Structure 1
């Protein structure tokens, strides 16, 4: 019997974990697993704030696909179209013409992108925080702003350089804000021209609370801790404009800032627009609790989805509720989906995904954090330690876990590295300036 071909679209939390489990649970004669992703690695996003702050090496917050998925076929490229009626996906490799890849089963897990709004100036001046590249850029940018502030005698330039605005009070925004402030405060030891009071860290959140995944008292505790660090917390406030770096807020305040970080939510990948799969009014692929794609009452045979881009019913809550777009759900959904695909290939019935959200953990900087796990609430160093322990146990591969632990251990002994490597973002600029232009003779 010819092996079934399983095509995995996207190598994020869902794609990587599902492919890894399938490659271990299915024999080569049963199935072949093909993973398509533009990046050669999976980014463990909960580690982005620590990578940006320099607590761990950026390389250790990503998992190389070819090392982790040795039994799978890796295709470096992007799926640009899915025609499930024909069970064919169009793949655009990094170089070369697109090609069609037929499949028997498809895992649609392209993930999500930043959910931005049509705010004047945001496209030109905003910084996202979803990729390792954005995390490295933000780190270099913040440290570069300290250099700018230390070198100038213009008070307005200094004030603008040292104003850092973060939009969005979810986990990504809170952790990014707290870790970057912690790093910048540490870096000021080497800037005698500056003091911590010169910096202004602003959090803009459209609702009346932060960290909606935890109870209100834990969100209130987080705000109190940030206020103790003299941060400017604006709740029930929206960013209305940031043209030319002039931040205008809905509460009437306006000021200049060189750094505007957008972390206000995510939306399904726009790649889903190029598929014939059913979706809900938020653009998510509609699924059964078994992680099978469903069109009304009809199961779409051979199509599976999970994670940020899918609407998966949450059986632990009231009817109509869906699983939150968290790494905790994504990893567990990936395992259940892989087991269900194996069951279907072997002629067995799939099983519903059911997992009660265990809770959440968040870092607020070195030795600071909040945690709410199985109803138990922790703050301070205990929550920070729980945050690190949980995520260290979740990142794939023993190799990465060891490297992360070594990074943390060295950070406890040695001083934090606070150097900016801004040339990484445009490494050819100096070479281009040094190299004269050569006009080609059109007659040759």
Structure 2
């Protein structure tokens, strides 16, 4: 009887999913060639978004297609299955997947058998029951949201430059960001840079008329870069007339008015929510042990607790941070950062390969490389070991670090070439908001019987 090849299923196409599959197809090259192993990657999107570059994509410094990595192209030795995971049965070693065909026809989810399963659905935005947030808030976690936000900001400048209503103008030129972590600070800084630059093409809008507000519930921003660099970043933003409100929460955004806990009210047409993430809710239907935050409880070697042949890492996993436990502190968990996700994925892939070969597993340990953050073009902060860097040098370190982490030499070369060209030419200040509704013109023409140009 012919022995069936071991089937490794990677559920998720984000940082963990891509880097795990990439490492597996390299580390198991001989097994894949002999047919002893096969790898399937399941993801609703056919690409991985490199999220640290989302702010630059939103500001137009990078093309959207260079911020995403096509899974089919990069994972050439893996089978890619488009779909959403709906459930996992660890006892039978099966996973249920709703494919695009199932969604179209209403059919039953596809059942996929596995020998080893990597559960890495990632995270979604963590929202709060703030009145009006669902109606008016804009997220900043996907490439679609980043490009949509860019188009939206430029459209607000168009509205402000063309309206005669001062209230509408003021609301259009007010931009509120909630959350003082990496996503909120970098997105605001890059877009404020873009908005200030764009004003040179609007004869009746001055840069100082724009009002950028950053709302943070704690008493500091960018805690990852340390207190000293966080204070510098705060001073830098305020020096650019960004209204940073520490110890403040968003109470409501009904009727396009951002009401803050300090009692202030800000009519605005732009409210960007970047106040953290939470584990993907699909984990609740996967029959795996979860912690208080809905993350999969994992062992230090990245196996799921009390489940055989199940692995997890990244934002969806509660992975013990052994480097902090060694210091005698309380049991700590790894933070949900891209740095941890990438490193955990490599360790996870190596451990799966070791398990298939009957070799011992290795616990995940990491050495903190530091943190870098961009504050707009030619501005940034960085903490590398004991060194603290700011200004253009930190901005270059930010770019160099993330360029080195983007998978494949092909993608690195494209990004590097785009940066080089951006240094030679002016920014493109074009809103392509109509791309979000590509059939609008045709629907109008078909519905009225007249071409839009004749209306």
Same fold (TM over 0.5): yes
* C-alpha contact (below 8 Å) 2:179/2:217 kept by paired residues: yes
Flag the structure with higher helix content.
Answer: 2
Does residue 145 of structure 2 align to residue 134 of structure 1? yes
Once the two structures are TM-superposed, the CA of residue 25 in structure 1 deviates from its matched residue by: 1.1
* C-alpha contact (below 8 Å) 1:329/1:357 kept by paired residues: no
Instruction: Spell out, residue by residue over 1:239-276, the C-alpha distance to the aligned partner (whole angstroms, 9 max, x if none).
Output: 00000111100000012000000000000001101110
Match of 1:441 in 2: none
Does residue 39 of structure 2 align to residue 33 of structure 1? yes
* C-alpha contact (below 8 Å) 2:93/2:115 kept by paired residues: yes
Instruction: Give the whole-Å Cα distance in 2 for the aligned partners of 1:192 and 1:437.
Output: 36
Instruction: Name which of structure 1's ranges 379-388 and 82-91 shifts more when overlaid on structure 2.
Output: 82-91
Match of 1:305 in 2: 312
Q: Secondary structure at the match of 1:143?
A: helix
Does residue 228 of structure 2 align to residue 212 of structure 1? no
Count of paired positions: 434
Once the two structures are TM-superposed, the CA of residue 437 in structure 1 deviates from its matched residue by: 7.7
Instruction: Give the whole-Å Cα distance in 2 for the aligned partners of 1:316 and 1:286.
Output: 18
Instruction: Spell out, residue by residue over 1:104-129, the C-alpha distance to the aligned partner (whole angstroms, 9 max, x if none).
Output: 11000000000000000000000000
Match of 1:75 in 2: 81
Does residue 344 of structure 2 align to residue 333 of structure 1? yes
Which of 259, 263, 283 is matched with 1:248 structurally?
Answer: 259
With normalisation by structure 1, the TM-score equals: 0.96
Match of 1:66 in 2: 72
Q: Secondary structure at the match of 1:372?
A: strand
Gaps of 5+ in 2: 450-455
Match of 2:435 in 1: 424
RMSD of aligned C-alpha atoms? 1.0
Does residue 444 of structure 2 align to residue 433 of structure 1? yes
Q: Secondary structure at the match of 1:139?
A: helix
Once the two structures are TM-superposed, the CA of residue 399 in structure 1 deviates from its matched residue by: 1.1
Match runs of 1:124-273 below 5 Å: 124-273=135-284
Once the two structures are TM-superposed, the CA of residue 227 in structure 1 deviates from its matched residue by: 0.4
Match of 2:453 in 1: none
Q: Secondary structure at the match of 2:322?
A: coil
Instruction: Name which of structure 1's ranges 27-36 and 168-177 shifts more when overlaid on structure 2.
Output: 27-36
Instruction: Give the whole-Å Cα distance in 2 for the aligned partners of 1:146 and 1:314.
Output: 46
Instruction: Give the whole-Å Cα distance in 2 for the aligned partners of 1:255 and 1:22.
Output: 51
Instruction: Give the whole-Å Cα distance in 2 for the aligned partners of 1:280 and 1:30.
Output: 35
Once the two structures are TM-superposed, the CA of residue 374 in structure 1 deviates from its matched residue by: 1.4
Instruction: Give the whole-Å Cα distance in 1 for the aligned partners of 2:90 and 2:401.
Output: 38
Instruction: Spell out, residue by residue over 1:126-182, the C-alpha distance to the aligned partner (whole angstroms, 9 max, x if none).
Output: 000000000000000000000000011211111000000000000000000000000
Match runs of 1:74-93 below 5 Å: 74-93=80-99
Instruction: Name which of structure 1's ranges 315-324 and 40-49 shifts more when overlaid on structure 2.
Output: 315-324
Instruction: Give the whole-Å Cα distance in 2 for the aligned partners of 1:10 and 1:46.
Output: 18
Which of 1, 4, 8 is matched with 1:2 structurally?
Answer: 4
Q: Secondary structure at the match of 2:101?
A: coil
* C-alpha contact (below 8 Å) 2:90/2:308 kept by paired residues: no
Q: Secondary structure at the match of 2:305?
A: strand
With normalisation by structure 2, the TM-score equals: 0.94
Q: Secondary structure at the match of 1:213?
A: helix
Once the two structures are TM-superposed, the CA of residue 422 in structure 1 deviates from its matched residue by: 0.7
* C-alpha contact (below 8 Å) 1:85/1:276 kept by paired residues: no
Match of 2:366 in 1: 355
Instruction: Give the whole-Å Cα distance in 1 for the aligned partners of 2:389 and 2:137.
Output: 33
Does residue 21 of structure 2 align to residue 19 of structure 1? yes
* C-alpha contact (below 8 Å) 2:121/2:280 kept by paired residues: yes
Instruction: Spell out, residue by residue over 1:268-317, the C-alpha distance to the aligned partner (whole angstroms, 9 max, x if none).
Output: 0011011101111111000111000013xxxx210000000100001110
Q: Secondary structure at the match of 1:156?
A: helix
Once the two structures are TM-superposed, the CA of residue 373 in structure 1 deviates from its matched residue by: 1.2
